Chain A
Amino acid sequence: MTGMFASALTGFVWVALWHLVLTMTAILTMGAALPLALGPAALAGLVAGVFAGFQRPASSRNRRIAGIALIACLLFGFSLGAPFDPAGLLAVWQRVLLLVLASAAGWLSIEKTVGPATAGYMARYAAEEFYLRLLWGLGLMMFVLIVAVPFYVMVMTSLKSQQSLLINPLDLSIDYSLGVTRLLRSYIELFTDYGFMTLLINSAVVSVATVIITLLFSVPGAYAVAKLRFPGRQWLSGSVLLIYLIPAIILVIPLYAVFSQLGMRNSLFALCIVYPATTIPVAVYMLRGYFAGLPSDLDDAGLMDGLSRLQIITRIAMPLSMPAIASVALYVFMIAWNEFLFAFMFLDDVKLFTLSRGIVSLNSSEVPRQHLMAGAVIATAPVLFLFLWFERFLVSGLTAGSVKG
Chain B
Amino acid sequence: MSRTSRSEFQGVLARREKRLAYLLLLPTFMLVLAIVLLPLVANFWISFKPVTLGDLRPPSLIIKEAARGTIAAPGDAFKIEYRFRNSSMKYPLAEASVRDTLPDGFTITALDPACDITSEAGARSIICTLGDLDAKARGKLVIEAVLRDPLKVSKDILKASKPETVFTAQNVMTSFDFTIENFEKVFSAAEFWNVLKTSIYYTVFGTAGALLFGLFAAQIMQKTFPGRSVIRGLLLFPYVAPVIAVAFSWVVLFDPFSGVVNAMLLQAGVAEGPINFFGQRKVNISVFGLTIEFPVALSMVILFEVWRYFPLSFLFILARMQSIPADIYEAAEMDGATPFQQFWFLSLPFIAGILSVLFLLRFIWTFNKFDDIFLLTGGNAGTRTLTVNVYEQAFAISNLGAGAAVAVVIFVFLLIFSIIFIRFSPKDAG
Q: Are B234 and A147 touching (Cβ within 8 A)?
A: yes
Q: How many Å from the CB of A225 to the closest CB on chain B?
A: 7
Q: Are B217 and A24 touching (Cβ within 8 A)?
A: no
Q: Are B40 and A380 touching (Cβ within 8 A)?
A: no
A-B contact count (CB 8 A): 291
With A28-B260, A373-B252, A403-B358 known as contacts, the answer to whether A251 contacts B241 (CB < 8 A) is: no
CA distance A33 to B262 in the complex (A): 14
CA distance A28 to B264 in the complex (A): 10
With A36-B267, A220-B24 known as contacts, the answer to whether A281 contacts B410 (CB < 8 A) is: no
- Minimum CB distance partner of B41 in chain A: A254
CA distance A154 to B216 in the complex (A): 26
Flag whether A81 is at the interface (Cβ < 8 A).
Answer: no
With A253-B394, A391-B233 known as contacts, the answer to whether A224 contacts B252 (CB < 8 A) is: no
Q: Are B231 and A250 touching (Cβ within 8 A)?
A: no
Q: Are A248 and B370 touching (Cβ within 8 A)?
A: yes
Q: Are B32 and A280 touching (Cβ within 8 A)?
A: yes
Summarize B's interface: helix, strand, loop or mixed: helix
Residues of A close to B309: CB separation below 8 A: 405
Q: Are A376 and B32 touching (Cβ within 8 A)?
A: no
Flag whether B418 is at the interface (Cβ < 8 A).
Answer: yes
CA distance A146 to B231 in the complex (A): 12
Q: Are B18 and A231 touching (Cβ within 8 A)?
A: yes
Chain B stretch 166-190: residues in CB contact (< 8 A) with chain A: 171, 173
Return the contact of B248 from the options A220, A252, A276, A372 (Cβ within 8 A): A372
| Chain B interface residue bracket vs A | 35 or more
Flag whether A383 is at the interface (Cβ < 8 A).
Answer: yes
Give how many A residues have a beta carbon under 8 Å from the other chain's beta carbons.
104
With A139-B216, A251-B35 known as contacts, the answer to whether A218 contacts B28 (CB < 8 A) is: yes
Return the contact of A132 from the options B263, B339, B418 (Cβ within 8 A): B339
CA distance A148 to B249 in the complex (A): 11
CA distance A336 to B407 in the complex (A): 23
Q: Are B39 and A251 touching (Cβ within 8 A)?
A: yes
Flag whether B334 is at the interface (Cβ < 8 A).
Answer: no
CA distance A364 to B418 in the complex (A): 39
CA distance A274 to B35 in the complex (A): 6
Could you list some 22 contacts between A and B, CB below 8 A? Answer: A36-B267, A128-B340, A132-B340, A136-B220, A139-B219, A170-B267, A229-B14, A236-B25, A245-B365, A245-B414, A249-B368, A251-B36, A253-B400, A255-B35, A273-B31, A280-B31, A340-B243, A376-B244, A387-B236, A402-B312, A403-B362, A404-B365
Task: Given contacts A151-B241, A243-B36, list 16 more A-B pairs with CB under 8 A.
Answer: A136-B223, A150-B238, A217-B28, A220-B24, A229-B14, A242-B418, A250-B407, A251-B43, A254-B39, A254-B46, A284-B28, A384-B240, A395-B236, A402-B312, A403-B316, A403-B357
Smallest CB-CB A-B distances: 5 pairs: A247-B368, A277-B35, A376-B245, A254-B42, A254-B39
